[in-house]
Amino acid sequence: MKRRQFFKAAGGAALLSGSGMGSFLMDLYAFSGQENLSQVEARYYKKHPDREIECELCPRFCKLGDKERGYCGVRENIGGTYYTLVYGKACSANIDPIEKKPLFHYLPGSSALSIATAGCNVNCKFCQNWEISQVRPEQVTNYDFPPQAVVQSAQKNNCPVIAYTYTEPIIFYEYMYDTSVEARKKGIHNVVITGGYINPEPLVELTKVVQAIKVDLKAFSEDFYSSYVRGKLEPVLEAIKIISKSKVWMEIVYLVIPTLNDSPQEIRGVSQWLRKEVGPDIPLHFNQFHPMYLVKNLPSTPVSTLERAYKIAREEGLNYVYIGNVPGHRAESTYCPKCGKVVIDRKGYRIEGIGLSENRCNNCNTPIPGIWS
């Protein structure tokens, strides 16, 4: 198999063919075959009589008989033992700028080796990576990429960060956790890009081995979560509160979808909640929606709507608010909340300039929260 054929996948998460970013992997790890899934015992489940189990990883609490799989499609009850089928079985990988995650207050300008497996524990009707998130692992090409190999690849390609992303890392929890443990031994950072649909106990354990978590807060409405995510809002809010009390750096993304979650009342509500429960320094990204997957009847978010959301969040006391998916917009950059000077100048995913000395504004010496080195 040729180098460029490795990770022939799947939407926005696919490797950059011909760019040299990621093609090194084919030399090291052989194609595993769609039928060659893992059978590693899952964590966070309870055994019941008659070979039934109950998954305790996420708020769905799937109750499964023998040979049944959870909602995520990647965890299966086999003879009364619950297994993850995607441990070390990546379906997509790439080297991305950390700004693409997006994480704006975390090692700006660094490269992240980004990995994913098939599957998800929700079904967002606007998912941009639905080709790999809304399928079972048999339906995509999988590759042997165990934790040690991921860490070695990050080292060889000078990636200081490994990102668990593209689909929903919660569903490959064991793979993510073990890779994070190995990465920390080598001084490599771990960041999680998640919808936050996870139970408290596994989340608390995860915060002990990763350094940053970006949470996609889909809306501030239970009706939206029920209709467009097939999940619930409250567990996500609880996850955000748990992360905020840990040592993990956190940022929030809110994808603004016209007519569905873009009302001034909802934007004000989520801004007020974040200010109260997390604090004024939580970075909040309002990202532009583009028609995708099952929501193709709506237009892209007008920039004016994003600017209105930005204004509301700033009025509610949030210091670091961003507009995303609009390259070149001034709200991509980070400004000192005291003097207003640009401290990180961004154009798309590029860093044009940094006006920080360690963690302080060069102009007025105000501390700017984040992980900068």
Q: Are residues 158 and 60 in the same domain?
A: no
Edge-to-edge strands, sheet with 81-84: 40-41, 81-84, 75-78
Q: Are residues 347 and 309 in the same domain?
A: no
Q: Are residues 64 and 105 in the same domain?
A: no
Is residue 29 within 8 A of residue 149, CB to CB? The reply is yes
Residue 32 lies in a domain: no
Full pLDDT tens readout for the chain, 373 residues: 333 333 433 333 333 322 333 554 554 444 444 568 999 999 999 999 999 999 999 999 999 999 999 999 999 999 999 999 999 999 999 999 999 999 999 999 999 999 999 999 999 999 999 999 999 999 998 889 999 999 999 999 999 999 999 999 999 999 999 999 999 999 999 999 999 999 999 999 999 999 999 999 999 999 999 999 999 999 999 999 999 999 999 999 999 999 999 999 999 999 999 999 999 999 999 999 999 999 999 999 999 999 999 999 999 999 999 999 999 999 999 999 999 999 999 999 999 999 999 999 999 999 999 999 8
Residue 15 lies in a domain: no
Number of domains observed in the structure of the chain: 3
Give the 3-state secondary structure of residue 111: strand
Q: Are residues 186 and 296 in the same domain?
A: yes
Q: Are residues 340 and 323 in the same domain?
A: no
Residue 205 lies in a domain: yes
Q: Are residues 93 and 80 in the same domain?
A: no
Is residue 233 within 8 A of residue 220, CB to CB? The reply is yes
Q: Are residues 180 and 278 in the same domain?
A: yes
Residue 24 lies in a domain: no
Query: Which of these three, 84, 116, 140, is where a domain ends?
Result: 84
Q: Are residues 362 and 321 in the same domain?
A: no
Residue 28 lies in a domain: no
Q: Are residues 74 and 165 in the same domain?
A: no
pTM (2 decimals)?
0.92
Q: Which domain holds residue 360?
A: 333-373
- Any idea what the CATH number is for the domain that residue 137 is in? 3.20.20.70
Say which residue the tokens 């998130």 belong to.
133
In the chain the first and final C-alpha atoms are separated, in Å, by: 39
